[in-house]
Amino acid sequence: MSDTFQLDGASVPFEPGQTVMQAALAAGHYIPHLCYHPEFKPHGSCKLCTVKVGGRTAASCTMPAEVGLNVESNIEEMNGLRRTLVQMLFAEGNHFCPSCEKSGNCMLQALGYDLEVHTAGFRHLYPDRPVDASHPDILLDFNRCILCELCVRASSEVDGKNVFALSGRGITKHLIVNAESGLLKDTDIALTDKAMQVCPVGVILPKRVGFSVPIGKRRYDQRPISAQALDDAPRQADASGSCAACEGTP
Protein backbone atom coordinates (compact mmCIF):
# COMPACT_ATOMS: atom_id res chain seq x y z
CA MET A 1 0.00 0.00 0.00
CA SER A 2 1.51 3.27 -1.07
CA ASP A 3 1.36 6.49 0.89
CA THR A 4 -1.43 8.97 0.14
CA PHE A 5 -2.39 12.61 0.53
CA GLN A 6 -5.73 14.35 0.09
CA LEU A 7 -6.48 16.44 -3.02
CA ASP A 8 -9.86 18.18 -3.06
CA GLY A 9 -11.20 15.40 -0.90
CA ALA A 10 -9.78 12.54 -2.96
CA SER A 11 -7.07 10.19 -1.81
CA VAL A 12 -3.98 10.41 -4.04
CA PRO A 13 -1.28 7.72 -3.85
CA PHE A 14 2.35 8.71 -4.41
CA GLU A 15 5.83 7.26 -4.69
CA PRO A 16 8.66 8.67 -2.61
CA GLY A 17 10.25 11.63 -4.44
CA GLN A 18 7.14 12.59 -6.39
CA THR A 19 5.79 16.11 -6.25
CA VAL A 20 2.13 16.87 -5.57
CA MET A 21 1.68 17.65 -9.30
CA GLN A 22 3.33 14.44 -10.49
CA ALA A 23 1.32 12.26 -8.15
CA ALA A 24 -1.93 14.09 -8.96
CA LEU A 25 -1.52 13.78 -12.73
CA ALA A 26 -0.45 10.16 -12.49
CA ALA A 27 -3.57 9.42 -10.46
CA GLY A 28 -5.81 11.20 -12.98
CA HIS A 29 -6.34 14.49 -11.16
CA TYR A 30 -5.77 17.68 -13.11
CA ILE A 31 -4.06 20.68 -11.55
CA PRO A 32 -3.70 23.66 -13.95
CA HIS A 33 -0.09 24.29 -14.96
CA LEU A 34 1.92 26.11 -17.59
CA CYS A 35 5.68 25.92 -16.96
CA TYR A 36 5.53 22.32 -15.74
CA HIS A 37 6.38 19.61 -18.28
CA PRO A 38 6.62 15.99 -17.13
CA GLU A 39 9.86 15.40 -18.99
CA PHE A 40 11.71 18.23 -17.25
CA LYS A 41 12.71 19.16 -13.76
CA PRO A 42 10.02 21.47 -12.33
CA HIS A 43 10.83 25.13 -12.70
CA GLY A 44 8.14 26.61 -10.45
CA SER A 45 7.96 29.98 -12.14
CA CYS A 46 4.45 30.50 -13.52
CA LYS A 47 2.59 29.71 -10.27
CA LEU A 48 -0.49 28.59 -12.21
CA CYS A 49 -0.31 25.34 -10.26
CA THR A 50 -0.65 27.10 -6.90
CA VAL A 51 -2.68 25.10 -4.40
CA LYS A 52 -3.68 25.60 -0.80
CA VAL A 53 -2.03 23.29 1.69
CA GLY A 54 -2.83 23.62 5.35
CA GLY A 55 -3.97 27.23 4.88
CA ARG A 56 -0.87 28.30 2.93
CA THR A 57 -0.32 28.53 -0.80
CA ALA A 58 2.39 26.56 -2.60
CA ALA A 59 3.38 25.66 -6.15
CA SER A 60 2.22 22.05 -6.51
CA CYS A 61 4.76 21.30 -9.26
CA THR A 62 7.68 21.78 -6.87
CA MET A 63 6.08 20.72 -3.60
CA PRO A 64 7.12 17.22 -2.48
CA ALA A 65 4.18 14.91 -1.81
CA GLU A 66 3.87 13.98 1.85
CA VAL A 67 1.66 11.63 3.79
CA GLY A 68 -1.49 13.29 5.07
CA LEU A 69 -1.20 16.60 3.20
CA ASN A 70 -4.57 18.28 2.69
CA VAL A 71 -4.32 19.92 -0.74
CA GLU A 72 -7.05 22.19 -2.09
CA SER A 73 -6.78 23.00 -5.80
CA ASN A 74 -10.12 23.26 -7.58
CA ILE A 75 -11.56 25.92 -5.29
CA GLU A 76 -12.69 29.39 -6.31
CA GLU A 77 -9.97 31.03 -4.23
CA MET A 78 -7.19 29.26 -6.18
CA ASN A 79 -8.94 29.56 -9.55
CA GLY A 80 -9.32 33.29 -8.91
CA LEU A 81 -5.57 33.59 -8.32
CA ARG A 82 -4.90 31.58 -11.49
CA ARG A 83 -7.23 33.84 -13.46
CA THR A 84 -5.25 36.88 -12.33
CA LEU A 85 -1.95 35.23 -13.31
CA VAL A 86 -3.28 34.42 -16.78
CA GLN A 87 -4.55 37.99 -17.12
CA MET A 88 -1.15 39.40 -16.18
CA LEU A 89 0.56 37.21 -18.78
CA PHE A 90 -1.82 38.47 -21.44
CA ALA A 91 -1.30 42.11 -20.45
CA GLU A 92 2.48 41.77 -20.25
CA GLY A 93 3.18 40.41 -23.74
CA ASN A 94 1.54 40.98 -27.10
CA HIS A 95 -0.98 38.19 -27.47
CA PHE A 96 -2.96 38.92 -30.58
CA CYS A 97 -4.53 35.46 -30.82
CA PRO A 98 -6.44 36.12 -34.08
CA SER A 99 -3.15 36.22 -36.01
CA CYS A 100 -1.17 33.68 -33.97
CA GLU A 101 -0.19 30.36 -35.52
CA LYS A 102 -0.39 28.71 -32.12
CA SER A 103 -4.00 29.70 -31.57
CA GLY A 104 -6.08 26.62 -30.78
CA ASN A 105 -2.96 24.71 -29.70
CA CYS A 106 -1.74 27.19 -27.09
CA MET A 107 -1.65 26.30 -23.40
CA LEU A 108 -1.93 29.89 -22.18
CA GLN A 109 -4.99 30.48 -24.33
CA ALA A 110 -6.51 27.13 -23.34
CA LEU A 111 -6.02 27.95 -19.65
CA GLY A 112 -7.71 31.30 -20.24
CA TYR A 113 -10.65 29.46 -21.78
CA ASP A 114 -10.88 26.93 -18.98
CA LEU A 115 -10.74 29.61 -16.30
CA GLU A 116 -13.34 31.76 -18.16
CA VAL A 117 -10.93 34.67 -18.50
CA HIS A 118 -12.86 37.19 -20.59
CA THR A 119 -10.37 40.07 -20.42
CA ALA A 120 -6.80 40.78 -19.42
CA GLY A 121 -8.30 43.43 -17.14
CA PHE A 122 -5.00 45.18 -16.58
CA ARG A 123 -3.51 47.91 -18.72
CA HIS A 124 -1.77 46.23 -21.65
CA LEU A 125 1.94 46.97 -21.76
CA TYR A 126 2.29 46.56 -25.56
CA PRO A 127 6.05 45.95 -25.33
CA ASP A 128 8.20 46.42 -28.41
CA ARG A 129 9.66 42.98 -29.16
CA PRO A 130 10.86 42.58 -32.76
CA VAL A 131 10.64 39.06 -34.16
CA ASP A 132 13.71 37.08 -35.26
CA ALA A 133 12.99 35.69 -38.73
CA SER A 134 16.67 35.23 -39.59
CA HIS A 135 16.63 31.43 -39.58
CA PRO A 136 15.52 29.79 -42.85
CA ASP A 137 13.25 27.24 -41.15
CA ILE A 138 12.33 28.72 -37.77
CA LEU A 139 10.58 31.90 -36.65
CA LEU A 140 10.97 33.39 -33.18
CA ASP A 141 8.12 35.65 -32.11
CA PHE A 142 9.20 37.05 -28.75
CA ASN A 143 5.90 38.93 -28.34
CA ARG A 144 4.33 35.81 -26.89
CA CYS A 145 7.10 34.57 -24.59
CA ILE A 146 5.95 33.82 -21.05
CA LEU A 147 9.48 33.08 -19.79
CA CYS A 148 8.71 29.51 -18.75
CA GLU A 149 12.26 28.45 -19.65
CA LEU A 150 11.09 25.16 -21.20
CA CYS A 151 13.03 25.89 -24.40
CA VAL A 152 16.09 26.79 -22.34
CA ARG A 153 15.83 23.52 -20.43
CA ALA A 154 15.12 21.42 -23.53
CA SER A 155 17.97 22.93 -25.50
CA SER A 156 20.54 22.43 -22.79
CA GLU A 157 19.34 19.21 -21.13
CA VAL A 158 18.14 17.27 -24.18
CA ASP A 159 19.70 18.85 -27.28
CA GLY A 160 22.99 19.73 -25.57
CA LYS A 161 23.06 23.04 -27.46
CA ASN A 162 22.19 25.93 -25.13
CA VAL A 163 20.49 27.88 -27.90
CA PHE A 164 18.27 29.86 -25.51
CA ALA A 165 18.70 31.74 -22.24
CA LEU A 166 16.81 34.25 -20.14
CA SER A 167 18.42 37.62 -19.54
CA GLY A 168 17.57 40.60 -17.35
CA ARG A 169 15.44 40.75 -14.21
CA GLY A 170 11.87 41.65 -13.30
CA ILE A 171 9.89 43.32 -16.02
CA THR A 172 12.95 43.56 -18.29
CA LYS A 173 13.53 39.81 -18.20
CA HIS A 174 13.48 38.40 -21.71
CA LEU A 175 14.47 35.45 -23.85
CA ILE A 176 17.77 35.69 -25.72
CA VAL A 177 19.51 33.59 -28.33
CA ASN A 178 23.02 32.45 -27.50
CA ALA A 179 24.92 33.71 -30.54
CA GLU A 180 27.27 36.64 -30.88
CA SER A 181 24.88 38.25 -33.35
CA GLY A 182 21.95 37.36 -31.10
CA LEU A 183 20.26 35.86 -34.16
CA LEU A 184 18.82 32.36 -34.44
CA LYS A 185 20.46 31.79 -37.82
CA ASP A 186 23.86 31.83 -36.11
CA THR A 187 23.00 28.93 -33.78
CA ASP A 188 22.97 25.21 -34.52
CA ILE A 189 19.27 24.80 -33.68
CA ALA A 190 17.50 22.24 -35.89
CA LEU A 191 13.84 21.53 -36.58
CA THR A 192 14.22 18.13 -34.94
CA ASP A 193 15.42 19.60 -31.62
CA LYS A 194 13.48 19.10 -28.43
CA ALA A 195 13.55 22.87 -28.03
CA MET A 196 11.29 23.07 -31.09
CA GLN A 197 8.59 21.03 -29.37
CA VAL A 198 8.17 22.38 -25.88
CA CYS A 199 7.08 26.01 -26.13
CA PRO A 200 3.58 26.15 -24.58
CA VAL A 201 2.80 29.35 -26.50
CA GLY A 202 3.55 30.66 -29.99
CA VAL A 203 7.17 31.77 -29.83
CA ILE A 204 9.28 29.04 -31.47
CA LEU A 205 7.55 28.21 -34.73
CA PRO A 206 8.59 26.09 -37.70
CA LYS A 207 8.14 28.18 -40.85
CA ARG A 208 5.69 27.37 -43.66
CA VAL A 209 3.36 25.10 -41.67
CA GLY A 210 1.24 27.69 -39.86
CA PHE A 211 -2.56 27.56 -39.97
CA SER A 212 -2.49 24.15 -41.67
CA VAL A 213 -5.04 22.75 -39.21
CA PRO A 214 -8.43 24.43 -39.69
CA ILE A 215 -10.33 26.11 -36.85
CA GLY A 216 -12.48 23.51 -35.13
CA LYS A 217 -9.87 20.78 -35.57
CA ARG A 218 -7.06 22.21 -33.45
CA ARG A 219 -6.11 20.60 -30.19
CA TYR A 220 -8.06 22.70 -27.71
CA ASP A 221 -11.00 23.19 -30.08
CA GLN A 222 -11.79 19.57 -29.36
CA ARG A 223 -11.70 19.39 -25.59
CA PRO A 224 -10.65 21.80 -22.84
CA ILE A 225 -7.10 21.62 -21.53
CA SER A 226 -8.32 20.25 -18.19
CA ALA A 227 -9.66 17.20 -20.02
CA GLN A 228 -6.48 16.69 -22.05
CA ALA A 229 -3.59 17.24 -19.66
CA LEU A 230 -4.25 13.81 -18.24
CA ASP A 231 -3.75 12.17 -21.64
CA ASP A 232 -0.23 13.53 -21.50
CA ALA A 233 0.64 12.42 -18.01
CA PRO A 234 3.33 11.40 -17.61
CA ARG A 235 3.86 12.58 -21.19
CA GLN A 236 6.66 10.16 -22.01
CA ALA A 237 8.30 10.73 -25.38
CA ASP A 238 7.39 8.03 -27.85
CA ALA A 239 9.89 6.31 -30.15
CA SER A 240 9.84 9.14 -32.69
CA GLY A 241 10.93 11.56 -29.99
CA SER A 242 7.69 13.51 -30.15
CA CYS A 243 5.09 13.57 -27.43
CA ALA A 244 1.35 14.14 -27.56
CA ALA A 245 1.72 17.33 -25.58
CA CYS A 246 4.19 18.96 -27.93
CA GLU A 247 2.45 20.88 -30.67
CA GLY A 248 3.94 22.02 -33.94
CA THR A 249 6.12 18.97 -34.39
CA PRO A 250 6.74 18.75 -38.11
* Residue 26 binds: one of ligand SF4, other proteins, ligand FES, none (C-beta under 5 to 8 A by kind): none
- N- to C-terminal Cα distance for the chain? 43
Question: How many whole angstroms from its chain centre is CA 44?
Answer: 11
* Residue 127 binds: one of other proteins, ligand FES, ligand SF4, none (C-beta under 5 to 8 A by kind): other proteins
SS (H, E, C) 43-99: CCCCCCCEEEECCEEEECCCCECCCCCEEECCCHHHHHHHHHHHHHHHHHCCCCHHH
Window 140-179: contact mask with other proteins (x via CB under 8 A): ----------------------------------------
DSSP H helical ranges for the chain: 20-26, 76-92, 107-114, 150-153, 219-222, 225-232
* Residue 36 binds: one of ligand FES, other proteins, ligand SF4, none (C-beta under 5 to 8 A by kind): ligand FES
Neighbours of 121 (CB within 10 A): 14
Using alpha carbons, select from 16, 19, 17 the residue that is nearest to residue 7.
Answer: 19
Stretch that binds ligand FES, among 39-47, 84-92, 150-158, 232-240 (CB under 6 A): 39-47
**Strands across the sheet containing 56-59:** 10-14, 3-7, 70-72, 50-53, 56-59
Indicate which single residue of 34, 58, 199, 205 sits in contact with ligand FES (rule: CB under 6 A). 34
Window 72-111: contact mask with other proteins (x via CB under 8 A): ------------------x---xxxxxxx--xx----x--
- What is the nearest approach in angstroms of ligand SF4 to the Cβ of residue 13? 31
Between 22 and 143, whose beta carbon lies closer to other proteins? 143
- What is the nearest approach in angstroms of other proteins to the Cβ of residue 58? 28
119 scored as a contact of other proteins (CB under 8 A): yes
Say if CB 232 and CB 26 are below 8 A apart.
no
33 scored as a contact of ligand FES (CB under 6 A): yes
Indicate which single residue of 20, 25, 48, 78 sits in contact with ligand FES (rule: CB under 6 A). 48
Residues that bind ligand SF4 (CB under 6 A): 95-97, 100, 102-103, 106, 108-109, 144-151, 164, 175, 198-199, 201-204
- What is the nearest approach in angstroms of ligand FES to the Cβ of residue 25? 11
The 3-state DSSP class for residue 11 equals: strand
CB burial of residue 75 (10 Å; 0-12, 13-18, 19+): exposed
Binding region for other proteins (CB under 8 A): 90, 94-100, 103-104, 109, 112-114, 116, 118-121, 123-124, 126-129, 215, 221, 223-224
